[in-house]
Amino acid sequence: MSATAPRPGRAGVLLGAGMLLLCSGAEAASTPSYPTRPVRLVVPSSPGGGTDIVGRIVAHRLAEQFGQQVVVDNRAGAGTIIGNDIVAKATPDGYTLLMGLSTLAINPSMFKKLPYEATRDFAPVSLVTTVPNILAVHPTVAATSVQQLIALVRDKPGSLLCGTAGEGTSPHLSAELFRNMARIQWQYVPYKGSGMGIVALLAGEVGAMFPSVPTAAQYVKAGRLRGLGVTTARRAQVLPDVPTIAEAGLPGYEATQWFGVLAPRGTPRAIIDLLHREIVRALAAPDVRARIAAEGGEIVGGTPEQFAAYLESETRKWADVTRAAGIKPQ
């Protein structure tokens, strides 16, 4: 029932492998004149969510390196399917990119029909970062621990509203995995992205949610939300006092959210390689590393081939998780 992401050691290896390409004169010599106009980075969720935060960090740095605008285009809705589909059907010339996230691997298990196939219609460029989600509750919820929350919901099944970033998103599936393992019942309220969901949680419209740490950390630190547990196997450095859900009362629970850049399938390999080199260069910058670490993320990097293999393994993994949880595709 666990969902596992690359360990820190592997992350360093992947970033190191990506750095090798930076030193390849042969690769540099074959690089096309790109980009010669602004690049669009589609974020398939609303502003303010984890995908948006990471996307803007990467876009800002790439714009500086390219000397061209990298415009973030938020296209939220349908559990990220709308934004994903825009990129899948875009001209494969490197000027429309996707800040993809875990839903690319999750959605095949949540929906019977998708307008694209992740492993067929996208060209992975680089896995950027992995981050924990966090079980966060509104301060009015009478639970200060994972065990107390489980007891509260068991006592009143269906009474707690749990917000999600949309059907099939990482926050949704993290919540579904928790619900199944804890054997509880609550009501889901889907939003068009974590940004809108976190606003609803802050307002008390829902009592709980599993947003990414980048989305929720500032509100947990300020006391506007109560963090009961992070979804990963290790605590988040940015919230060291928040235990993992596994250690806080639900042994074996683990789920990780990830973000990475992809292009439409058919994008010339020379452009993919150039994008990869520039993303790895961006991720190696101390200020970028510090900003992502401050948001609770862990730098990954890695080659396009490693990202493709990871996407395939994540797709198989979440298929196993949803099957074990009894989730039926819609």
Q: 63-98 burial by CB neighbour count: b if 16+ within 10 A, else e?
A: beebebebebbbbbebbbbbbbbbbbebebebbbbb
From CA 125, how far away is CA 303, in angstroms rounded?
7
For the segment 306-314, the average pLDDT, to the nearest whole number, is: 94
Quote the pLDDT of residue 287: 94
CA 238, distance to chain mean position in Å, is 17
Residue 172 has pLDDT above 80, yes or no: yes
Contact 330, 150 (CB under 8 A): no
Quote the pLDDT of residue 261: 98
Question: Of 48-52, 143-147, 190-194, where does the model show the most confidence?
Answer: 143-147
Mean pLDDT of the chain: 89
Quote the pLDDT of residue 79: 82
Is pLDDT larger for residue 293 or for residue 161? 161
Quote the pLDDT of residue 297: 86
Structural domains in the chain plus CATH codes:
8-131+256-324 (3.40.190.150), 134-230 (3.40.190.10)
From CA 310, how far away is CA 307, in angstroms rounded?
5
Output the six-digit token pair for 208: 């709980």
Is pLDDT larger for residue 135 or for residue 32? 135
Q: 303-315 burial by CB neighbour count: b if 16+ within 10 A, else e?
A: bbebbbebbeebb
Confidence band (pLDDT; 50, 70, 90) for 32? low
Neighbours of 204 (CB within 10 A): 12
pTM: 0.76
Nearest to 100 by CA among 120, 77, 126: 126
70-118 residue pLDDT tens: 999 999 988 899 999 999 999 999 999 999 999 999 999 988 899 999 9
The residue whose two tokens read 């969720």 is 45
244-289 residue pLDDT tens: 999 999 999 988 889 999 999 999 999 999 999 999 999 999 999 9
* Amino acid sitting at position 187: Q
For the segment 193-218, the average pLDDT, to the nearest whole number, is: 93
For the segment 159-184, the average pLDDT, to the nearest whole number, is: 89
For the segment 149-155, the average pLDDT, to the nearest whole number, is: 96
For the segment 18-32, the average pLDDT, to the nearest whole number, is: 46
From CA 165, how far away is CA 192, in angstroms rounded?
6
